[in-house]
Amino acid sequence: MRPTAARPAVRPTALVALCAAAPLLLTACGGGSGGDPDTLKVSFKQSTDNSVKVMDTYLADIKKQFEKANPGKKVELVPIKAPDAEYYTKLQQMLRSPRTAPDLVYEDTFLINSDITSGYLRPLDPYLAGWKDWERFADTAKAAAQGEDGKTYGVPDGTDTRGLWFSKDVFAKAGLPADWQPRTWEDVLDAARTIKKKVPGVVPLNVYTGKPVGEAATMQTFEMLLYGTNDGTSDPLYDKESKKWITAGKGFRDALGFVETVYKEKLGPDVADALDPNVGTRVRGEWLPQGKLGIALDGSWLPQDWLEGSGHEWPEWSKELGLAAMPTQNGQAPGKVSMSGGWTWAIPAKAANPDLAFEFVKTMQTKANAQKWYVANSGIAVREDVASDPAYTAAQPGIRFFTDLVEHTHYRPAYPAYPKVSTAVQEAMEAVTTGDASVEEAARGYDEALRDAAGGQVTSK
């Protein structure tokens, strides 16, 4: 999975530009649900890859079910086609006004507290209290959708974990084992060095970096590293006791050092490719399927791009790719590390039809529909009745591997300042990726940006 810097106030010209640039949003720009109590508007993130229609296909089926069960009601799907960072910006612009706010929106858990603090979302507790299925959801998933006020603002539709994907063909050519399981960061780097030496023309290792890819850099690379350092024994970014953000310590610098090594030694993609906001699409749709990438530090959801009907069908992926857990820095306990996030369905504070929106959520989140989504999206189940269903665990190769990583996973400190903190991390990563700053310089720059992002609420450890 993906934040940007603080959002400026929306000017009329900005909203006009948004509508002009995104024809699919014209209805939303024209006035929310238009005061029609029988029309439900649902906004979601549409893939920037035209051939990937996983969410579109799923929601089209739910729309049919809902309209059949609710005669006279209509569902209008309002996709926002954009990379993650742009999606967040466009969504927040829409949420600011009752003229543009949809009735239901797809919210990343990392951003939900920021939007709660901004007053964009409606608490769902009155609805959840009368919904028996809510008891089926895992507590960790519920917590990810809670505000600091203890209220719940979203219904999670799955979670995810992250690990190392590797090409068995590239590994065979490099003389690396098909059952590869690195014990340390150095093991990962050494494998990439071997690939660079023995398999020319292949990207040895992809780790996302820099501002253009947003949260993919922060969470899928940097935090996967940071939480695997000794600093990762407790939350290395945020101190819950003092409620302060933590300045760059040794673990932070070591994580930056790993990123610097990948790009300084040319173990990763060309810097221009690494800083392309659509590099993730190339990883999933081109580099891995075509055997052009040795190792990818990436998420559990990748197979959604390779399933039948996805546009990038690759039925052989489970035979051609191997999976390994990301190790801790020096192999220290617990030996493995993962990060988890996920998305939720939330109702905007200015939605015209909130009751109808929650009825749509309930349709999406029946056991059968939820299970269908987890499998189609290559997601990790957050409904316990689905997670324990053999039909789910056997539905797709890799599901058991990534589900088992939940034991070793961490969650981002998704407090209101987090999006700005994340941007500061991305800037530090980009600086060492391009060589514009040393690790020490980038860490000092992070500390300065952190003080601004956190309003001075920082501490050192």
Residue 393's pLDDT is what? Answer: 86
3-state secondary structure the chain: CCCCCCCCCCCHHHHHHHHHHCHHHHHHHHHCCCCCCCEEEEEEEECCCCCCCHHHHHHHHHHHHHHHHCCCCEEEEEEEECCHHHHHHHHHHHHCCCCCCCCEEEEEHHHHHHHHHCCCECCCHHHHCCCHHHHHECHHHHHHCECCCCCECCEECCECCEEEEEEHHHHHHHCCCCCCCCCCHHHHHHHHHHHHHHCCCCEEEECCCCHHHCHHHHHHHHHHHHCCCHHHHCCCCEECCCCEEECCCHHHHHHHHHHHHHHHCCCCCCHHHHCCCCHHHHHHHHHCCCCCEEEEEEECCHHHHCCCCCCCCCCCHHHHEEEECEECCCCCCCCEEEEECCEEEECECCCCCHHHHHHHHHHHCCHHHHHHHHHHCCCECCEHHHHCCHHHHCCCCCHHHHHHHHHHEEECCCCCCHHHHHHHHHHHHHHHHHCCCCHHHHHHHHHHHHHHHCCCCEECC
| pLDDT per position as a tens digit, 185-228 | 999 999 999 999 999 999 999 999 999 999 999 999 999 999 99
Name the residue with higher pLDDT: 275 or 16. Answer: 275
Residue 186's pLDDT is what? Answer: 98
| Side-chain-facing half-sphere of 224: CA atoms under 13 Å | 32
| pLDDT per position as a tens digit, 353-411 | 999 999 999 999 999 999 999 988 888 999 999 988 998 988 888 998 998 888 889 98
- The proportion of the chain whose per-residue pLDDT surpasses 90, expressed as a percent, equals 71
| pLDDT per position as a tens digit, 11-62 | 333 333 333 333 333 333 434 555 689 999 999 999 887 666 889 999 999 9
| pLDDT per position as a tens digit, 280-314 | 999 999 999 999 999 999 999 999 889 887 778 99
Of 398, 363, 355, 361, nearest to 377 by C-alpha is 398
Beta carbons within 10 angstroms of residue 55's beta carbon: 20
Residue 129's pLDDT is what? Answer: 97
Residue 34's pLDDT is what? Answer: 57
- The proportion of the chain whose per-residue pLDDT surpasses 70, expressed as a percent, equals 92
Residue 302's pLDDT is what? Answer: 94
Residue 3's pLDDT is what? Answer: 36
Residue 12's pLDDT is what? Answer: 31
Residue 23's pLDDT is what? Answer: 36
Average pLDDT of the chain?
Answer: 90
| pLDDT per position as a tens digit, 111-121 | 888 899 899 99
Residue 31's pLDDT is what? Answer: 42
Q: Are 18 and 53 in contact (CB under 8 A)?
A: no
Residue 24's pLDDT is what? Answer: 36
**What is the pTM assigned to this prediction?**
0.78
Residue 48's pLDDT is what? Answer: 80
Contacts of 98 (CB under 8 A, 6+ apart): 32, 350, 352
Name the phi and psi angles at 82, rounded to 5. Answer: -170, 155
Residue 359's pLDDT is what? Answer: 98
Residue 285's pLDDT is what? Answer: 93
Residue 123, pLDDT > 90, answer yes
Residue 51's pLDDT is what? Answer: 63
